[in-house]
Chain A
């Protein structure tokens, strides 16, 4: 068990380091010079070389690349990613400032997406009408296919500009959160719903369900009482994918609804080659990814007794029998 944990933690750390290194390399391989981007593009030719040098010096861009890397890595280990090239703010502060907005948006959208996904799966499993099932089962692929910016703008047109129920932009109060939540939840719910529909169907035809039928349970009682618990577990395995969808969707959602957040910040940082900021964000995202996968890996044995048994088997074969 200890070895399992150590292995998983080691892997997580490696992922974070690799992300840090890869971004550094990528941004240095890119042909554009971050110093140039601090000037008006039409003026770049006119910037005297000594001014350019002084600006480069301000950010340490004139040091040898390896030295810059080691310096940034050293500081990053202490949680200091330096100052944003574009705003001059410490990267950590800039990220922490926008992180709550994204977290609220992502968490809310995730909950909503789960609700949508479970409703779809439950309806698809419990309905007796084929046409209802077919219709409901088509929803997940539709929700994934509609681009977020399109659904966002449509939702805005209807609920904000026409009906005036919710504000169109900004992030003040819960009302400004509703439309972005829905917009983001739609594509995120798709893969989860698809997975759940399949696993609900599978569980619904398994042996213990037949037993329950035989005992005289109703369809609803079986779906809620037996199938729901067992069929839900696989949704956890795609937590990583879901997180990725949330981050990707948040870039567009935050832009359409003019909210502050990690997604939009990433986009600006990449556009302006704001190396320190990009690195800070990438490390944050990689760390979250790694952490989520780690938590999933570690909780899985807790939730699934069979996995616990296999894990325990090599180290304590004798005890495996008694574990059940």
Chain B
């Protein structure tokens, strides 16, 4: 290990001192190659390094990230470590192509659904087994989904999947390898949900695992999946170690990997401190790290490390505008907020190339995304000011506008879990001040945010967050007055036809026809962004990994989670 570190260090030093231009050119080349590959092969990047060639088997990948897995149970997680590890020890029914958003086969060879989209029939592969040797079949699918949605009080298992699969009735098993999943109401987004790889994911566990209580599932060796890796150990707060599953041969066909994983082991090291993650990468103790800070990207690239990233698919980081609370109950104010801040400034001062300014409420990687940067989501302070003038907002003391004796104070609650959030919001705050809007920020850790959110309906004009789900129906989940109701619509929301919003968003769940769905997605974005201006999207968050040049094939999936089945190290160590 120390030999390796010295090699890496001296190589970096030599480049810097003797041929600064050569290092620069190499970085540029790498970048171009990286971008080319990313465009070419979607999430599968990392092959960009010069020494690519044939994959090498064996070796241990030392991986670092901020979070730790609180429980080895993959169906129960709400942080990145949990979903990431879950993805490597379990498989899903389907695989969503990160580039096109298309749902492709995985554990299910094929599927069909009824016209109502209330019944989905999956034809399962018959050669899949769990790591304890038991077969994966329709009965397993049924047992998993039943417990996933309903929980099990006797075992202390929460209904983890209830939010993902609303209205789940049952799973029927007409034969050993056919599973029919039934819902009360049409649920077009279920097809995408069957591939879901983010928080609280529907990864399949063996029947023996499902019988265990939450406490018993903290013994990682008893948590059995069908994935390319199996648990070796789990140490709360410190690390999770996975080893290669012998005989694995059912990676999603779309990623083009056959057979077992290349790596022998993966160690997920939890390192909370940013400088320790980057320092450990630079010194060669770890091979790759997630959670790379925006300010670390450049120095790491300069030291010869490869940066790979993928925008989080789902909504952008949004400012949801409370449509029933003064002053955001005034559509002129909502529209002025959309127009009143300088996108270019945030792009230049806050974001790196791994991030992008939002051009819609949907991230551009979600199918159905429409670009609004030329219309409602442009920087036009004059138009914003005019809108406010027309609505009767007159300049008041301290430059803040006033109407009927009340100032234009807009209160925001947000989460500080992403480093970019606060500076981005502050930049918007400064711009809005120039047009007479006083944006007051309360950007806090998640628990405080959760507490504030409970009272947001009456206390906050803006809730700032994002939701990770690579399906346009995320808009229905987030904004439908019947579901998330992000803009707090009620019958009293001035000038908003609530039923129209419910209907327009709801139709996203009614069809899986691509063309129809694209049209519905556009209608949904139109109504949210343009017609009623219920949301001001800010920027698209990104997951950023820095890795050594000898690491290849780290996959970012459609939810920007990582899969390591195709990952290998040129040195095979």
Q: Which residues of A contact B (CB under 8 A)?
A: 30-33, 36-48, 51, 54-55, 57-58, 83, 86-90, 94, 97-98, 149, 153, 156-157, 160-161, 164, 167-171, 255-261, 264-265, 268, 271-273
Q: A38-B158, A83-B156, A272-B447 are in contact. Are A169 and B70 (CB under 8 A)?
A: no
Q: A58-B151, A161-B279, A258-B276 are in contact. Are A88 and B213 (CB under 8 A)?
A: yes
Pick from A41, A54, A257: contact of B446, CB under 8 Å: A41
A43 touches B467 (CB 8 A): yes
B283 touches A94 (CB 8 A): no
B451 touches A30 (CB 8 A): yes
B163 touches A265 (CB 8 A): no
- What's the Cα separation between A313 and B270 when bound, in Å? 58
B448 touches A32 (CB 8 A): yes
- What's the Cα separation between A153 and B275 when bound, in Å? 8
- What's the Cα separation between A33 and B453 when bound, in Å? 11
Residue of B nearest to A90 (CB): B215
Indicate whether B71 reaches chain A with its CB closer than 8 angstroms: yes
Q: A39-B163, A46-B477 are in contact. Are A256 and B199 (CB under 8 A)?
A: no
Indicate whether B337 reaches chain A with its CB closer than 8 angstroms: no
Residue of A nearest to B68 (CB): A268
- What's the Cα separation between A57 and B486 when bound, in Å? 27
B158 touches A55 (CB 8 A): yes
Given contacts A42-B315, A48-B166, 8 further A-B contacts (CB under 8 A): A36-B453, A36-B454, A42-B466, A88-B73, A89-B71, A164-B2, A268-B237, A272-B447
B445 touches A271 (CB 8 A): yes
B237 touches A260 (CB 8 A): yes
B166 touches A260 (CB 8 A): no
Pick from B235, B272, B447: contact of A273, CB under 8 Å: B447
Pick from A51, A168, A272: contact of B280, CB under 8 Å: A168
Pick from A57, A170, A255, A260: contact of B273, CB under 8 Å: A255
Q: A87-B218, A161-B282, A260-B237 are in contact. Are A46 and B276 (CB under 8 A)?
A: no
List chain A residues, Cβ under 8 A from B50.
none
Q: How far is the CB of A252 from chain B (nearest CB, A)?
A: 10
List chain A residues, Cβ under 8 A from B2.
164
Q: How far is the CB of B454 from chain A (nearest CB, A)?
A: 7
List chain B residues, Cβ under 8 A from A273.
447
Residue of A nearest to B158 (CB): A55
B484 touches A46 (CB 8 A): yes
Can you give 14 A-B contacts (C-beta < 8 A)?
A33-B450, A40-B467, A42-B467, A44-B453, A54-B158, A87-B71, A88-B213, A97-B236, A153-B276, A156-B276, A169-B280, A258-B271, A258-B273, A260-B237
Pick from A39, A44, A258, A272: contact of B270, CB under 8 Å: A258
Q: How far is the CB of B188 from chain A (nearest CB, A)?
A: 17
List chain A residues, Cβ under 8 A from B249.
none
B450 touches A41 (CB 8 A): yes
Contact digits for B138-174, partner A, Cβ 8 Å, 1 yes 0 no: 0000000000000101001011001100100000000
Q: A37-B447, A256-B276 are in contact. Are A164 and B415 (CB under 8 A)?
A: no
B214 touches A88 (CB 8 A): yes
Pick from A86, A168, A255, A261: contact of B283, CB under 8 Å: A168
Indicate whether B465 reaches chain A with its CB closer than 8 angstroms: yes
- What's the Cα separation between A36 and B280 when bound, in Å? 35
Q: A88-B213, A171-B238, A271-B447 are in contact. Are A58 and B153 (CB under 8 A)?
A: yes
List chain B residues, Cβ under 8 A from A48.
162-163, 166
Indicate whether B356 reaches chain A with its CB closer than 8 angstroms: no
Indicate whether B11 reaches chain A with its CB closer than 8 angstroms: no
A153 touches B273 (CB 8 A): yes
Q: How far is the CB of B152 from chain A (nearest CB, A)?
A: 9
Indicate whether B217 reaches chain A with its CB closer than 8 angstroms: yes
- What's the Cα separation between A170 and B233 when bound, in Å? 14
List chain B residues, Cβ under 8 A from A268.
237
Indicate whether B493 reaches chain A with its CB closer than 8 angstroms: no
Indicate whether B239 reaches chain A with its CB closer than 8 angstroms: yes
B215 touches A170 (CB 8 A): no
- What's the Cα separation between A153 and B315 when bound, in Å? 36
List chain A residues, Cβ under 8 A from B71.
86-89
Contact digits for B282-324, partner A, Cβ 8 Å, 1 yes 0 no: 1101000000000000000000000000000001000000000
Residue of B nearest to A258 (CB): B271
Indicate whether B478 reaches chain A with its CB closer than 8 angstroms: yes
Q: How far is the CB of B514 from chain A (nearest CB, A)?
A: 25
- What's the Cα separation between A87 and B220 when bound, in Å? 12
- What's the Cα separation between A18 and B217 when bound, in Å? 34
- What's the Cα separation between A38 and B468 when bound, in Å? 16
B236 touches A260 (CB 8 A): yes
Indicate whether B352 reaches chain A with its CB closer than 8 angstroms: no
- What's the Cα separation between A57 and B449 when bound, in Å? 23
